[in-house]
Each structure stands twice: as structure tokens, then as C-alpha cells.
């Protein structure tokens, strides 16, 4: 007994129930914490996709107002290139152009829609994609 006192050993006064309590607290808080972390990452990923779609629409509108642009396929090629540069699949995008080949001073609008598939929605069992949309309107030169 004397050696145990000198070595700093003493019996656990509270018992062994604290270990079980800590484990239960971890089991209750870990899923909530992970859900918050994954949700924040998914929100950031959505903002990244939305920014890329808006930038692609803006660059498409810039190309559409130039006098050298004659066809909608030229504008779509510019938009798809910008989506490809953002590591998005250009085949999934819906692109519409209105006001192409108008007179000087009239607006041209490029509307780009891209489906965003959320990992978080798949984890909680919700199906369906959110659509990221970018619209840009510019005046003809």
C-alpha cells in the first residue's frame, strides 16, 4: 500500500461510468457535427458552381454582342468552354440566347442553367438536383 501511495496511484472514486458517458456524448454529437461540416462544404461547392455558371453566361454575352458573332452556336461554344475550364460537364448545361444579331444598342441575354447534384441530399435521402443559374445581359456594339 505504501508503494501505491508513493507512486501516485489511487482508486477511481467515481467508478467507471464516466467512460460510458463520454462515449454516449460522442455518439450523440458526432453525427450533428459531421452534418454541419458536410453541409458547409456542400454550400461552398454550390457557390463555386453558381459562380462558374454566372461567369460562363457573362462571357457568352460578351461574345454575343461582338459584330463578328453571327450564330447561337458560337455563343454556346464560348459558354461551354468556360464551363469546361471550371471542371463542369458542358453537356449538362442548358444555354439559351435571346437578342442575337440585333441592331446596335439592343440587349442580348444569355441564360445558362446547370444542375447541381448535392452529396448531402443523397445522404439524407432527398433526390433531385438544385439548378444553378447565371444570366447576363449586354448591349450590342
Indicate whether 5 belongs to any domain: no
How is residue 51 written as a grid cell? 459562380
95 or 70, higher pLDDT: 95
**Which pLDDT value is given to residue 11?**
57
Measured in residues, the chain has a length of 141
Are the beta carbons of 139 and 62 closer than 8 angstroms?
no
Q: How far apart are CA 111 and CA 85, in angstroms?
A: 18
- Range of the structural domain that residue 19 is part of: 15-139
Indicate whether 100 belongs to any domain: yes
**This model's pTM is above 0.85:** no
Q: How many CA atoms lie within 13 A of 138 on its CB side?
A: 17
Indicate whether 6 belongs to any domain: no
Indicate whether 10 belongs to any domain: no
Domains in the chain, number: 1
Confidence of residue 122 (pLDDT cuts 50, 70, 90): confident
pLDDT tens for 43-77 read 999 999 999 999 999 999 999 998 888 899 999 99
Indicate whether 9 belongs to any domain: no
Indicate whether 78 belongs to any domain: yes
Q: How far apart are CA 92 and CA 85, in angstroms?
A: 14
Amino acid at each position: 500500500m505504501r508503494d501505491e501511495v508513493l507512486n501516485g496511484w489511487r482508486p477511481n472514486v467515481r467508478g467507471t461510468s464516466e467512460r460510458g458517458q463520454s462515449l454516449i456524448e460522442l455518439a450523440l454529437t458526432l453525427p450533428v457535427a459531421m452534418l454541419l461540416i458536410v453541409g458547409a462544404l456542400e454550400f461552398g461547392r454550390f457557390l463555386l458552381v453558381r459562380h462558374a455558371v454566372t461567369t460562363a453566361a457573362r462571357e457568352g454575352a460578351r461574345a454575343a454582342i461582338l459584330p463578328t458573332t453571327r450564330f447561337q452556336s458560337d455563343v454556346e461554344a464560348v459558354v461551354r468552354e468556360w464551363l469546361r475550364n471550371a471542371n463542369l460537364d458542358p453537356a449538362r448545361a442548358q444555354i439559351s440566347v435571346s437578342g442575337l444579331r440585333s441592331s446596335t444598342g439592343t440587349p442580348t441575354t444569355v441564360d445558362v442553367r446547370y444542375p447541381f447534384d448535392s452529396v448531402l441530399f443523397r445522404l439524407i435521402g432527398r433526390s433531385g438536383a438544385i439548378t444553378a443559374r447565371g444570366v447576363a445581359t449586354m448591349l450590342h456594339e
